[in-house]
Structures are given as structure tokens and as C-alpha cells.
Structure 1
Amino acid sequence: MTDRTPVSLSEAEIAAVRSWVIHEDEAVIAFNKPAGLSSQGGRVQAHTLDDLLWAFARSNGKRPDLVHRLDRDTSGVILAAKTKPAAGFLGKAMQARRFKKTYLALLSAAPEPRSGTIETPLLRQEIGRESYMRAVSADTPGAQAALSRYRTLSATDDGALVELDPATGRMHQLRVHMASIGRPLAGDARYGGALTFAGRAAPRLMLHAAKLTFPHPEGGYRTVEAPPPEDFEALKVAAGL
């Protein structure tokens, strides 16, 4: 679908991106993105998932395009459109908030209350070459409305497994909203998360995009699910969750 200059990929990269496919049909392709892989752009001199989509290029030179993004250290479901009409349809559906995203996160302790809604506005800030989001009051110039829902699935003395639902799609929204109620995500050093969890190292953001429900270009809705990666599961088990 895209006609940018093709990216040269190794056999190992092609095999890897093909192994991440969890759903494919005539219009879309969904992946279980590993943590540590940028969706697009980024300053790290390594191929992004967007680059790796050249593994699916057709004979006419067109290839799928990502419909949305995940943070580099967030694992899980990410969707690409295989045709231009599908990309247009899904882009409009995304803007109309017809996508339902469900995330899993590990926290050092269960939120209080154990389920709820966070509607704190967010403000984007540039600090050096980095972009951050900050929870602010509604009358702050440039503040963006944001809505997140959370639900504690299980909790022990060592931590909690929480389901998160971002009704809006602001950058770092779930991370900042949970930090704003005193429950930053494990491994999220940028927003105050501890780098240990249940007595073990949490060297990255423990956030996983577990499920995506979206309107399909051919009608109806589809739901795609992705199992959490091994490091996430290991910490969950260590905490008895």
C-alpha cells in the first residue's frame, strides 16, 4: 500500500516479523509486537515495526501501513491495514473512537479504589529531545481531555495485575493517569515506576496491549488478542497474581 523506498531486511528480520502475526485477512494484519521495538520513527538506529512491514510487500510494491502506534516498551496487539481503502476506513474509525483497547499492567500495589475512572486532563511537554505528558487542571492552556478506566484483576502483598481501558488516545495516557493516582506502572522510570517488582528486576515498562476490538472494513467488529510476553508473565507469577 505504501510506495516509500523499500527497506532491505535480513532473513532473520523477515522470519521474526512473520512470527508475530496473530491475525490476517484481506484487509488487515495484526501483530503481537515485542517490547523494545519502536512502532515508527524513533532515534535508535534500528529497524522499526513500520520498516519490517516491507516483509509483506506485494509484487506491485505496495505494503501494509500501521493504523496506530504502541510505545517502544509496550508489547501487544498492533494493527496494520493492507489496502488503501482499509487504511482510510480504519483511520476514520480510530478518530471516531470506535476502537476498544484493553491493556494489562503490573503495579506495585492495587489502586484505591480497586476500580474506577480517571478523567484528569493531560499536557504534552518537550524536555530536551524527549516528549512527556503531565497531569494538569482543566483550565491549563493546551490541556487535552483524557479518560481512562481501570480494574484490578488480582492483588497480593507483592503487587497487582490491573486491566486498563483508554477511552481516549493521548500519548502515554495510561502511564500518566495511573501515576497521577499514586500507582505508576512497574518499570516505568519516566513516570515514577519502580524498577523492581515482587523482588525481581522490572527493567522495562510492564504494559501489554492484550486485546483490540475494532470495526472491520468488510463489516462487523473483530477482536484480536495477544498473550503477554515471558518477562511480563514471569513477574506476574513471582507476585502470585
Structure 2
Amino acid sequence: MTSPERPALSQDDLPFAVLHRDAMMLVIDKPAGLPVHRGPAAKGRIIPVLTDHLDALRFGLPRRPEAAHRLDKDTSGCLVLGRHPRAMAQLNQLFRDGRIEKTYWAIVEGGPAEDAGLIDLALAKRSPERGWWMKPDPKGLPSQTGYRVLGRGSLDGIQLAWLALDPLTGRTHQLRVHCAASFGAIFGDEIYGNAPRSGGPGLHLHAQSIAIPLNPKREPIRAEAVPPPHMRAALAACGWAADDKLS
């Protein structure tokens, strides 16, 4: 069965901002709800995915860029794309070596007792039937996340905390499981929290900034993404102002 045809898209049609562009890579601000790849759930259906836009992101090069790492469909923010094979090889090595700094903003229900700390919980798949779903498991892969509390507040009677999360490892759903298991699920999480499957507030997890040391003789390339509209009420309740410096 052939895939449904989709119209060719131009740079004017891009539903996201390009935060950085050079000869090696792009950094885009991926919207929440946009899958990076067309997975099994999308088979036979015409739904928007990032790969629909890769031709429009060539910017004169003969090849389409490729995602150098992953963001969940419902996570917004900084996503790095390599523009050619040599760039992809270098970026993949930097990610494997843990040399790329990533900071996420999250709104969690409740919140940690301490204003900063380290979550050290090994993770494993919940079950073969659950696909990407994960759980804390002492026999799983080592997983660490640093956190800082940036603000606290409440929204509609729910106590919330605004966190900066620094993943020191890159496990599937790491931030979502670590928060839920340690002090409170990320607000709007349908899998590890109590958010409804439809009509909920949306996952409040945003890849806010990234720093990529492409050239050892220069400062890392940095990009920052403004939080998406669905997170701003909860962020404001925790003390964020739209005109604040992002980091």
C-alpha cells in the first residue's frame, strides 16, 4: 500500500522558526504536537510531520537535513538537524559523548522539596506491549537528570513548580519518568501523569536551550526557544514574564 501523497511545502509554509543556520546544521523551534518522523500510528493518514518540511530546509544544499536527536511529539523547542553526512557524523558523536548541553523547561505538579538536585534513577521499558513507555528499574540503564527550581505557584488550585532540567543521559522519556517518580508528573502528561487523553492542557515540557561545541577553538553555538503558548499561563503563575530573558 502506497503512502498518501502530500503537497510539496516551501520555506514560506514552515510552521516553525529556524533559530540557527550555518553550513553544518540547523536548529529549529519544533512545535508541540509535530512528530519528527512518520510512525506506525500515522500509516495511511495525512498528518503533519517534520519530514514533510525537510525539502524546504535545504537552503540551497542538494540534500535534505536530518534530525540529529529526538524530541517527543508533544515536546516543543530546540531541535538540531544535520545538513550533510559529515555534519551528522560529528553531531551524532557530540551527542553520544554528552558534550551538547540541553536545558528543558518543565512545569510539574507539586514539585521538589529542594531547590536544586540530581535525579539518579535507572530506567527500563515498562513492557514489550507498551512500546516507548518507561519505568524506574534498578536493572535498567543508568539515567541522571539535574534540576533547578525557577519558580513556584498555583493554577486552578493545582500547586506547580517551574523547573530547569538538564539531562545528563538521553534515555527515552527520561525527564517525564524522572519527574513523575521523584516529585510530581509534568503538567499535561497523558502517560505518566493524570492528564486526559483528549482536551488536556498539553505536555508542559519545552527544550528551551541548547549549546553545541562544533568547533573546539570557538565558543559553543547556542540557541534558545521561546516557550509555546500552551505553557505560558502556568509559567506566569510560577513567576515567568514574557519579556524575561529566556535563560
TM-score when normalising by structure 2: 0.82
Aligned mates of 1:126, 1:118 — CA distance in 2: 23
Q: What is the SS of the residue equivalent to 2:232?
A: helix
Offset from partner CA, 1:27-46 (integer Å, 9 cap, x none): 11110000000012322232
The 3-state SS of whatever aligns with 1:168 is coil
Whole-angstrom distance in 1 between the partners of 2:216 and 2:24: 8
Partner of 1:40: 37
Letter in 1 for 2:84: T
| Secondary structure of 1:15 counterpart | helix
Equivalent residue, structure 1, for 2:211: 213
**SS across alignment from 2:14:** helix
Counting only pairs closer than 5 Å after superposition, residues 70-81 of structure 1 correspond to structure 2 as 70-81=71-82
Residue 59 to residue 100, structure 1, CA distance change in 2 (3 Å)? closer
After TM superposition, where is structure 1 displaced by more than 6 Å over at least 4 residues in a row? none
- The amino acid that maps onto 2:212 is F
Structure 1 residues 62-141: aligned runs within 5 Å:
62-128=63-129, 130-137=131-138, 140=139
CA shift for structure 1 position 127: 5.0
The residue that corresponds to 2:201 in the other structure is 203
The reply to whether residue 168 of structure 1 matches residue 169 of structure 2 is yes
Where structure 1 has 5 or more consecutive residues not aligned to the other structure, the ranges are 1-6, 196-200
Identity %: 32
Alignment of 1:20-39 (within 5 A): 20-39=17-36
- How far does residue 131 in structure 1 lie from its aligned partner after superposition? 2.1
Which residue of structure 2 aligns with residue 230 of structure 1? 229
What SS does the aligned partner of 2:72 have? Answer: coil
What is the alpha-carbon distance in structure 1 between the residues aligned to residue 74 and residue 203 of structure 2? 6
Count, aligned residues: 225
Preserved CA contact (<8 Å) 1:9 1:52: no
TM-score (norm 1): 0.84
Deviation for aligned residue 1:83: 1.9
Match of 1:151 among 148, 152, 174: 148
Match of 1:180 in 2: 181
In the alignment, structure 2 segments of 5+ residues that lack a partner are: 241-247
CA distance in 2, matches of 1:18, 1:186: 24
Name the amino acid aligned to 2:137. Answer: V
The separation in 2 between residues aligned to 1:78 and 1:110, in whole angstroms, is 27
